[in-house]
Amino acid sequence: MVVAGLGWMGLAGAEVRKAEPVTVRMGAPVKGGAPRLANFAGGGGEVGSSSTGLIAEALQPGSQAVESTPREPEVPGTGEARQTKRFELSLETGILYDDNIFLDARDPVSDVLWRAGAEVRLTLGEPSLEEASFARLRYRPDAYFFQRTTSENTVDHDASLAVRKVWGRVAVDASGGYQRTSGSTVELGDRVPRDVGRGRAGLSYGWGAKTRFSTEVNWQATAYREAGYNDSREWAHETFAQHRTTEKLSLGLGGGYGRLHVDDGSAPQEFQRALMRFRYDATGKISLSGQAGVEFRQTEVSDETTPIFSLEAGYQMTAKTRLRVLAEQDVAAASALDGQNTLRTAVSLGLQHRFNERFSATLDGGWERYDYEPVRASAVTSADRRDTSLFVRPAFRYSLGERWEAEIWYQFRSADSTDPEGVYDVNRLGFNLGCSF
């Protein structure tokens, strides 16, 4: 998983993804140059979702477990890719104790999990150069073995492809991904196997040195492998005009529209969005970036107007310490309740400190809320539901050499809900070990 690239949004503008349900997985990638230890709690998350305990990942440049959409160049470039070809391989393993693997409020089940994973990545060109063309292919299998609940043993898959081609002032990019995943989520409150796919295509044009126009189409689909959950498909189109106002400030104005289909008997939902993007580098230590606006959504129950946003602030406190804060709000289909949407609001914070070249520590925490709203006439009589949760996750990492890194971590999450089934606590303690080639 990866947190969308708000922190790297420039004049051209990186994709700012819609907030997705949090998957409760507790591992975190390690720093660049060492293996990226995957999120680890017995199953993967959805493509494009933000994972609990993943603030540390976003603090580390280059540690991407799911490809983010390629950025468009800020200043028109030559479009020539460096003739580089890289093949990367990482191997990982870990052990985890979980005292509530199904997030069950009444009868929690504890277990010990072992995990074995690998990641292969092939890169052509230089993705880090904004003016360059590139192609990157990535595949990651993860096997999870439960000591007692062996029926939950699974192998998850995560594959992605991203390409970009630049011709002078014009840049074209596309990306896509597929996940076969099985982890628990805050909304579902259970381990549910599912398939998630996504795709994106974008086009941008640089007009002068400070202005850029961009348009993109996004598609995402989720299919559950168990009855009782709602499959969904959504596509959205957005267009932006972006301008570098000052040396420190970039602004973008735009909007979009889209359509959501949910297999629960509800009529398709249509929505329109008016949005503003920005990036402000206040000082060399403080940066602000994000996207905010209003969504207008039409359902068979009513027309809803909802503020939506995805905001990020970063603060380099000292040469060895960095703080990062994320705030998100967006609308999505409810997976477990027929005829309802969720308004998800989340705030998360991450603190990272490097003691020396080998030893570092992170502290992540956050709050999340789901407000359920009826979108089908027959669901209006349902009782309003609200879920909230809090989590905290400290972790310590140690580099064992150029290629090896170890991590030990703990996470506590507490959830409350107007539905008694959604009230639970969960404690997790784990150890990860990885190497890269």
Is there a domain that residue 360 lies in? yes
Q: In the beta sheet, which residues pair with residue 373?
A: 341
For the chain, report the end-to-end CA distance as a whole number of angstroms. Answer: 21
Q: How far is CA 414 from the centre of its chain?
A: 21
Is there a domain that residue 308 lies in? yes
Is there a domain that residue 258 lies in? yes
Q: Give the count of beta carbons closer than 10 Å to the beta carbon of residue 413.
A: 24
Q: Give the count of beta carbons closer than 10 Å to the beta carbon of residue 308.
A: 20
Distance between CA atoms of residues 107 and 88, nearest Å: 43
Backbone region of residue 168 per phi and psi (left: phi > 0; alpha: psi in -120 to 50; beta: other values): left
CATH code assigned at 260:
2.40.160
What pLDDT does 129 receive? 75
Cβ neighbourhood burial of 247 (10 Å; 0-12, 13-18, 19+): exposed
Distance between CA atoms of residues 140 and 160, nearest Å: 9
Could you tell me the two tokens for 44? 């993967």
CB 277 within 8 A of CB 9: yes
State whether residue 153 is helix, strand or coil: coil
Number of domains in the chain: 1
Is there a domain that residue 1 lies in? no
Q: How far is CA 28 from the centre of its chain?
A: 13
Q: What is the pLDDT along the chain (437 residues), one digit of tens a residue?
A: 233 333 323 333 333 334 344 443 333 333 333 344 444 444 443 333 333 333 333 333 333 333 333 333 333 333 344 456 689 999 999 999 999 998 887 889 999 999 999 999 999 988 777 678 999 999 999 999 999 999 999 999 999 999 999 998 999 999 999 999 988 777 777 788 999 999 999 999 999 889 999 999 999 999 998 888 899 999 999 999 999 999 899 999 999 999 999 998 889 999 999 999 999 988 789 999 999 999 999 998 889 999 999 999 999 999 999 999 999 999 999 988 888 999 999 999 999 999 999 999 999 999 999 999 988 877 665 668 899 999 999 999 999 888 899 999 999 999 999 888 889 999 999 999 999 98
Collect all residues with Cβ–Cβ distance below 8 Å to 198 and sequence separation of at least 6: 47, 48, 176, 177, 218, 219, 220, 221
Q: 422: which DSSP letter? A: G
Backbone region of residue 103 per phi and psi (left: phi > 0; alpha: psi in -120 to 50; beta: other values): left
Distance between CA atoms of residues 195 and 176, nearest Å: 14
Could you tell me the two tokens for 39? 């999120």
- Domain holding 322, by residue range, is 6-436
Is there a domain that residue 408 lies in? yes
For residue 228, the one-letter residue type is G
What pLDDT does 419 receive? 85
Q: Give the count of beta carbons closer than 10 Å to the beta carbon of residue 405.
A: 26
Q: Give the count of beta carbons closer than 10 Å to the beta carbon of residue 320.
A: 12
